[in-house]
Homo-oligomer: A and B are copies of this chain.
Amino acid sequence: LDRLRALAGVAACARVESANTFPSDAGIASSAAAFAALTLAGAAALRLDLDERQLTILTRHGGSGSACRSIPTGYVEWVVPEGPFDAARWDTESYAASLAAPEHWALADVVAVVDAGAKKIGSAENHQLAVTSAYFPTRLAEIPARMAATRTAIATRDFELLGTTMEADAVSMHVVCMTSTPPSFYWNSGTLAVIHAVRAWRAEGLQSYFTIDAGPNVHVICAAADRDEVERRLRALPGVQFTIANNAGAGARVVG
């Protein structure tokens, strides 16, 4: 809000009300949506004339990379400057942009909640630990090819390419956590049950792929047409407390 006040040249205070329809701090990017909403609401309240890219830059300042991705519509890329991390350059040049509208590809994300409690290691602390992992440089080196594969997969609606790239990236992030000093193990019993189930379903012909944020809960991505079936199967697994399903969404918007 301070950054918005500075941009608008005002010192007004704001009452912030934030509500989530799903669990917070469980590693399913709940804060991302809240920060995106807060930035957009603040900009609207102050009648700032900002384009989408400026809004995503502001959202990244306030929240995180995940947060800036919640501003644009549909399939969104978080664009970061080339070269090693540079806080000043990222503050002005790192933004999010839509790659495709939600209608481009009818996919669903079914979150299998295996632990609704707050995560034990915050994302910020986790980012600090990452550099202690011997695998971290390898992960960084892999990212450009994964980003390119993901863009191609979205452009051509290649679900197998999207899915295998997404799974490899999720595993690689958790590998960095498990090999840091000290190591962190976000996965729990339920996480592994979902991973094995998704792989078995795929072997039987039900196309679905997993991804896992910095927590134990698993996002299962499938065709929108398979969403109910995936949700039904996930709920039957031991360790799955409940599920939350969403299709590809429109970006952040002012509702009131």
A interface with B by C-beta (< 8 Å): 134-135, 138, 141-142, 167-168, 171-172, 175, 178-179, 183, 185, 187-193, 195-196, 199, 238-239
Contact = CB atoms under 8 A, between A and B. Distances in A.
Nearest to A191: B192
Copies of this chain: 2
A179 B183 contact: no
A145 to B, nearest CB: 10
A179 B139 CA distance: 11
B185 A192 contact: yes
Contacts of A171: 178-179, 183
Contact of A175 (B135, B142, B196, B239): B135
Contacts of A175: 135, 175, 178-179
Contact of A189 (B134, B135, B189): B189
B188 A196 contact: yes
Contacts of A191: 192
Contacts of A195: 185
Given A138-B135, A175-B135, A175-B178, A187 B192 contact: yes
Contacts of A196: 185, 188
29 contacts: A134-B138, A134-B141, A134-B142, A135-B135, A135-B138, A135-B175, A138-B138, A168-B179, A171-B178, A171-B179, A171-B183, A175-B175, A175-B178, A175-B179, A185-B192, A185-B195, A185-B196, A185-B199, A187-B192, A188-B192, A188-B193, A188-B196, A189-B189, A189-B192, A189-B193, A189-B238, A189-B239, A191-B192, A192-B192
